Amino acid sequence: MTTELPINTIIVAAGTSARFGTDKMLAPLGDLPVFLHSVRNFLPVSQRLVLVVPPGREEDFAALARQHGLLAAQMSIVAGGDTRTDSVRQGLQGLGDSASGLVAIHDAARPLASADLLLALADLAAKTGGAAPAKPMTNTVLRTDDQNLVLEALSRENLWEIETPQVFVLPILQEAFAALSG
């Protein structure tokens, strides 16, 4: 079953890639820069798609999307903020006041997420208010003191790693961001 609610997608590609050493969003992965894989995968199932990019780089990203035939009418490119939260807020504003239904937030650094995954999460989010892919934690997690001395190893029994896309009923996410601001 596929939800009847429209899906609006925000793809966040506004990070600095500090650990990567170069702009990983522009790194080639097969036939496309990394960020365009998510655009290609999600554009066909998105009523609106907002690509959030580093400030001042909007035209660079638009040119690449245009070059690869992935700059569509339902897509806009906006400048991100200082933090991921700020960038998602910019993406929400980029959707415009007429947006309704669901909103998916996706990290462009995860280029292999499929439209099928997004649609499955949209079905769940329409029923529950929100959904995200998750997997049981397998890495060891340590709790430390202020000097980074290990105090204990935490049980992984009830810990999960959350990935993207994360899909929400739009008003629920808007209310959460309003609470952050106010």
Q: Which residues pair with 166 in a beta bridge?
A: 105
* pLDDT value of position 16: 55
Q: Tokens representing 164?
A: 């993207």
Q: Which CATH class is domain 7-132+163-181?
A: alpha beta
DSSP 157: T
Instruction: Tell me the Cα Rg of the chain.
Output: 17
Q: Which amino acid is at 165?
A: P
* pLDDT value of position 1: 53
Three-state DSSP state, 177 = helix
* pLDDT value of position 182: 62
**Nearest 5°: phi and psi at 28?**
-70, 140
Mean pLDDT for back-to-back runs of 10 residues, the chain (182 residues): 87 70 74 94 96 95 94 94 94 92 96 97 97 96 96 94 97 92 70
In angstroms, rounded to a whole number, what is the distance separating the alpha carbons of residues 146 and 171?
39
**DSSP conformation letters of 56-111:** T-HHHHHHHHHHTT---TTEEEEE--SSHHHHHHHHHHHH-TT--SEEEEEETT-T
Q: What is the pTM of this model?
A: 0.90
In angstroms, rounded to a whole number, what is the distance separating the alpha carbons of residues 49 and 103?
9
